């Protein structure tokens, strides 16, 4: 080949390479966008409940926070396990094995039910749990009333997560978003009616708020089942076919992948709960400022969380096709997308750090809290980026069925590093609230770096995990 011919061939190869990466980016965005919007819809429902309960007074708001602490600890256990539906179903979809896609969803629904029954029953002992944890009896009693209404929301909520994982794995996440968009006003209307006794319904206050959440979750679950059973392209998978058939090998595989996800979520949830406790030791203003900054971070976090779920699916598809190059490309594209979004969000949050606290408080009497919140939002700039990147990297690793090593990393980074630095900077070294946030940021940054390194190390050598095979 002549020199001009070689140059043209090289240019053609470069253009083709750029197109492959561009196509991967487009597919990731198309998948991640409805997932992220669905997550933001979930936040909207929680915010609506809090706003409605806030009109009943501070004691009720405090009790609802305690109730959510008990519920969320149980919720995370099942959420991690059913999250394993997505990588298993995605790998099967990539391998063009529709029967295995159905089996992955089926064992996820089994797991949600079997885990959910005892954990749902445990919610009826919320008062005893909270008193044992040192909470005031009055607050524990109010929280228990809320938990009585919330108790049975776990199983339908986990079923909906499993159904969403199935829908995402076959590249159709949009129905999850439409169901959530309908659920937002339905939840607001039902919660209002049951809390305050509107439209001829009884006034149930905290119990009514919990009951409304349960009813809405049951409705979302039923809608998800109907869509997956009766609508294209899901109908061809016959998701309820052979539902009662034992599938213990795949059930065990689901737990092997999903249980470490639950453990990682609990470790992360635990360190943030511990940080809130440390803030409470500093004072009420510090705790309130911390909650404002964390709530802001949680809202922004929903977008990279959507990218993370998309990364699991895209990596899983490539694994199912046994395409090592596409596996690496899918993960790296998602990481770049998550990092770019969070970097942009950091610029916006830092620029608006003095405005954001006003949206939560809106009172000149809370000037000290507003000032502290603005400071934490500025200090937490690295926190935002690290949090976004770590969740995307974790999602990419789940597509490789790699969940046990990230669990070990979480224990080291969140507790040995993060919590230790939080406490040391916050108290012995006297940096207070800023020191606690620096500790959280440092733990998340180490975790993100280790997860990125792990994904790079695995995919650089062309690693592909074994995938479930028909029995």
**80 in Cβ contact with 161 (< 8 Å):** no
pLDDT score, position 383:
86
Contact criterion met (CB below 8 Å) for 345 and 262: no
Q: What is the pTM of this model?
A: 0.92
Measured between alpha carbons, how far is 266 from 72 in angstroms, rounded to an integer?
Answer: 9
What is the rounded CA–CA span in Å between residue 181 and residue 204? Answer: 25
Residue 64: both structure tokens together: 């609802």
Residue with tokens 């228990």: 144
Task: Specify the pLDDT at position 273.
Answer: 85
d(CA 42, CA 371): 29
DSSP track, 31-58 = HHHHHHHHHHHHHHHHHHHHHHHHTT-H
CA–CA gap between residue 175 and residue 167 (Å, rounded): 8
Residues of the chain whose pLDDT is less than 50? Answer: none
Q: How many angstroms separate the Cα of 295 from the Cα of each of 3, 42, 373?
A: 59, 13, 11
Instruction: State the pLDDT at residue 15.
Output: 59
Position 381 scores a pLDDT of: 79
Q: Cβ(156)–Cβ(221) under 8 Å?
A: yes
Both tokens of 178, joined, read: 């439409």
| Rounded (10°) CA dihedral 414, 417, 422, 427 | 140
Return left, alpha or beta for 200; rule: phi > 0 is left, psi -120 to 50 is alpha, else beta: left
As a whole number of Å, the end-to-end CA separation of the chain is: 52
pLDDT digits (tens, 9 = 90+) for 51-108: 888 788 767 877 887 888 889 889 999 999 999 999 999 999 999 999 999 999 999 9
φ/ψ of residue 303, rounded to 5: -70, -55
* Helix or strand holding residue 372 (H, E): helix 367-379
CA separation for the pair 162, 79 (Å, rounded): 9
The encoded tokens of residue 187 equal 């939840």
The CA-CA-CA angle for residues 204, 58, 210, to 5°, reads: 30
Per DSSP, the three-state class of 136 is: coil
Q: What is the pLDDT of residue 284?
A: 76
Range 281-286, long-range pairs (CB < 8 A, 24+ positions): 281/427, 282/426, 282/432, 282/433, 285/368, 285/369, 285/372, 286/372, 286/432, 286/433
DSSP symbols for 149-216: HHGGGHHHHHHHHHHHHHHHHTT--HHHHHHHHHHHHHHHHHHHHHHHT-TT----HHHHHHHHHHHH
Residues 312/86, Cβ–Cβ less than 8 Å: yes
- The reply to whether omega before 233 is within 30° of 0 (cis) is yes
Q: Can you spell out the DSSP letters for 302-339?
A: HHHHHHHHHHHHHHHHHHHHT-HHHHHHHHHHHHHHHH
Structure tokens at 165: 């994982």
* CB of 53 closer than 8 Å to CB of 206: yes
């Amino acid at each position: 080949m002549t020199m001009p011919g070689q140059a043209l061939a090289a240019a053609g190869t470069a253009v083709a390479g750029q197109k492959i990466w561009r196509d991967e980016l487009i597919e990731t965005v198309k998948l991640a966008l409805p997932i992220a919007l669905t997550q933001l819809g979930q936040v909207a429902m929680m915010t609506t409940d809090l706003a409605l309960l806030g009109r009943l007074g501070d004691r009720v708001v405090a009790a609802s926070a305690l109730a959510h602490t008990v519920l969320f600890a149980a919720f995370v256990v099942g959420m991690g396990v059913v999250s394993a539906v997505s990588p298993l179903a995605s790998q099967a979809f990539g391998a063009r094995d529709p029967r295995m896609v159905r089996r992955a969803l089926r064992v996820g629904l089994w797991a949600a039910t079997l885990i959910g029954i005892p954990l749902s029953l445990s919610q009826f002992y919320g008062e005893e749990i909270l008193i044992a944890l040192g909470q005031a009896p009055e607050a524990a009693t109010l929280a228990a009333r809320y938990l009585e209404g919330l108790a049975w929301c776990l199983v339908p909520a986990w079923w909906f997560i499993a159904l969403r994982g199935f829908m995402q794995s076959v590249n159709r996440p949009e129905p999850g978003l439409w169901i959530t968009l309908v659920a937002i006003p339905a939840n607001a209307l039902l919660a209002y009616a049951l809390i305050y006794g509107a439209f001829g319904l009884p006034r149930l206050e905290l119990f009514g708020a919990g009951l409304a959440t349960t009813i809405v979750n049951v409705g979302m679950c039923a809608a998800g089942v109907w869509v997956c059973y009766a609508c294209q392209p899901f109908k061809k998978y016959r998701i309820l076919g052979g539902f009662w058939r034992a599938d213990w090998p795949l059930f065990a595989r689901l737990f092997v992948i999903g249980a470490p996800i639950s453990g990682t979520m609990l470790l992360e949830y635990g360190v943030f709960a511990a940080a809130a406790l440390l803030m409470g030791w500093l004072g009420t203003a510090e705790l309130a400022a911390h909650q404002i900054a964390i709530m802001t971070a949680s809202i922004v976090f929903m977008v990279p969380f959507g990218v993370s779920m998309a990364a699991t699916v895209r990596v899983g598809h490539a694994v199912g096709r046994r395409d090592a190059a596409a596996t690496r490309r899918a993960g790296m594209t998602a990481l770049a997308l998550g990092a770019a979004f969070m970097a942009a969000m950091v610029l916006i949050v830092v620029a608006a750090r003095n405005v954001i606290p006003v949206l939560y408080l809106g009172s000149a009497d809370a000037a000290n809290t507003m000032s502290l919140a603005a400071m934490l939002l500025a200090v937490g700039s690295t926190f935002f980026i690290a949090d976004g990147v770590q969740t995307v990297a974790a999602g990419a690793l789940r597509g490789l069925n790699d969940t046990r090593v990230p669990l070990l990393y979480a224990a080291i980074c969140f507790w040995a590093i993060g919590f230790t630095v939080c406490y040391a900077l916050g108290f012995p070294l006297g940096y207070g609230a800023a020191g606690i946030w620096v500790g959280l940021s440092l733990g998340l940054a180490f975790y993100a770096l280790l997860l990125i390194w792990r994904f790079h190390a695995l995919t650089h050598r062309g690693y592909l995990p074994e995938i479930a095979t028909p029995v």
